[in-house]
A and B are shown apart, each in its own frame.
Chain A
Amino acid sequence: GAGVSQSPSNKVTEKGKDVELRCDPISGHTALYWYRQSLGQGLEFLIYFQGNSAPDKSGLPSDRFSAERTGGSVSTLTIQRTQQEDSAVYLCASSLAGGLPGELFFGEGSRLTVL
């Protein structure tokens, strides 16, 4: 597709379950970002992938959160043993630029609700 694609767009889960969120970046974009946005708040940085370099995981809030990027393309964000405070919109973005970020292209987000 032409843009960044995220799935699912909405996910409702029960506390304690694991969830996987998927991001398909724009073809050829080497940089991929995950952010979290709670209701009415700004974006909280989670993790950043750049090419084959080790990802910057400095924003992951706990060891229940992990992400991988296979083949330099699709990325999956996994949240284990979900908690109610994990409820938020998870946004993925990709960028052509490496090293110093240029314009980010965002997906529409995955809205996660933990009951």
Chain B
Amino acid sequence: SQQGEEDPQALSIQEGENATMNCSYKTSINNLQWYRQNSGRGLVHLILIRSNEREKHSGRLRVTLDTSKKSSSLLITASRAADTASYFCATADLYNQGGKLIFGQGTELSVKP
């Protein structure tokens, strides 16, 4: 069963603007991860945030986690055309689903030059 749900499903912005994608999940988690997928390719890990962390940065990426609302957001600042991709959140269930990582449906980001 799917755990994370991203919104929006699709986002189109101009180069230089910021892009914000949200992820909601249902159960208690150990960690939440964000991945990127270029069209027709495999997924690439972007960032992992643990359940006891509230915010994490990596370059132009900022991830927040609100465990009380069971939600996370991914912010990409100063977007570039090369950021065009699908972005997925994935969660690791706290109560031992054996290390299984469950992915959401993804947000398709289009950055126009």
A and B held together in a complex: yes
Structural contact, A99 and B103, CB atoms closer than 8 A:
no
Binding site for B on A (CB under 8 A): 4, 31, 33, 35, 41-45, 48, 50, 53, 56, 58-59, 91, 93, 97-109
Distance of A55 Cα from B101 Cα, bound (Å): 14
Majority SS at the chain B contact face: strand
Distance of A35 Cα from B104 Cα, bound (Å): 12
Name the interface residues of B89-113: CB closer than 8 Å to any CB of A: 90, 92, 97-106
Distance of A98 Cα from B38 Cα, bound (Å): 27
Max count, chain A CB within 10 A of own CB: residue among B30, B42, B92, B100 = B42
List of A residues within 8 angstroms of B97 by Cβ: 56
Binding site for A on B (CB under 8 A): 2, 30-31, 33, 35, 41-45, 48, 88, 90, 92, 97-106
Total inter-chain residue pairs, C-beta < 8 Å: 72
Distance of A109 Cα from B45 Cα, bound (Å): 15
Residue of A nearest to B91 (CB): A101
Structural contact, B100 and A104, CB atoms closer than 8 A:
no
List of B residues within 8 angstroms of A31 by Cβ: 99
Structural contact, B101 and A33, CB atoms closer than 8 A:
yes
* One of A43, A97, A107 near B88 (C-beta < 8 A): A43
